[in-house]
Structure 1
Amino acid sequence: MKKIITTVFCTALALCSGLTAENLDRDDIEAEIWEDMWNGKGDNGLDFPEASYKHHLLDRWLDENYGSEDYDWTEIGELQYEYKDYYRRLIEDWDFEDDNEGGWTISTEDNHYSFSLLNGMWQMTDKNGDTVDTFPPFSTLEEDESEIAGGYKINDNGADSPRVIGEVTGGTETASEGGSS
């Protein structure tokens, strides 16, 4: 009897304590889905619109859905699957054209879209020249490592005064030389 009461008590305690899985962080979800989906070339986000637009679609999907009960926000594998399914349905009738010179277009049954960079934002325009979407450039390049010079790491974020690492030859004087002239 004691075992039954103990089991019931422990089960009730676990249920009442609110043990639930927490939602994954939105930024972590975005990074995981993007890494899984994007297999293109490195791009600084300003030369070609393709990666920026595809990342914009992912952002929009997350903005519209994050936290909703339509998806399990605790399971990254499930979210990757759900986004891929959404993306495939979205683009199933799109024809992408890349001229490898920065020109990237999308043709659908009803329209033709082109992209141009204007005031630091990508503009998606339709065949009539009307802007239908705007989005920021997104770089697919990995962040550069801090520079290393002579074994010293350079943290140049512009907050400090300039410094010299290494030897300075010529054009220097000691304090005693400068004051005696």
Structure 2
Amino acid sequence: MSITLFQDNIFPRHISDLMNLMHMMVFNGTDGEEKWDTYLDLRQKECVALALAQYYQCDHCISHHLKAAKKLGKMETTTLQENISRIILFLRIDTRTISQSEKEHWIKAWQRFAHKITVTSGDTATPYLIGLAIGIARNDEFLIDFCGNDMKQILQEQNIEIRPAIGELESIVIFMKAAASKNRVAEKLDTIFGDSKKES
């Protein structure tokens, strides 16, 4: 496998190989031998992964998924990153802690954000996939319900099976949580060993 996602000086090689395999299964629907049905397209998955990378503030993951999204085209990279940055900044508002009137304003603002991403990406599902992914990541019942209901409607209109499509989204969230957790600390953990890189 040609991608380098988890290799550093201390992460065990067999775990790195396992995570790279999980990346293939989550994003490409294959382990290199067996292939499974997929319900979200690769561009949608990369947009969700990029959004989660920004949510988790993992520079390594942002760089990787931005390059992957750029290769898939359909949206100019700067526009893609700016729109996702805005939506993630907006999704950092915890709607569980605001008043009902603030929540109503939040919903209207969300719909404007979602429309903007829909126009630039050409896909109505992407913003709601991102919102639902963030809801899953932080166990936010309101966001899961709010974006989940819109996702159900979008998937039904596109004749896509709802349960496996949401399951596929959940697998991206789980993968990205593990990947970002690992990649954010790689350099920090290296400091335990002093200046070993400079000495070698």
Could you say which TM-score interval applies, normalised by the shorter chain? under 0.3
Larger helix proportion, structure 1 or 2? 2
- TM-score, scaled to structure 2: 0.25
| Structure with larger Rg | 1
**Bigger strand share:** 1
- Identify the structure with bigger relative contact order (alpha carbons < 8 Å, sequence gap 6+): 2
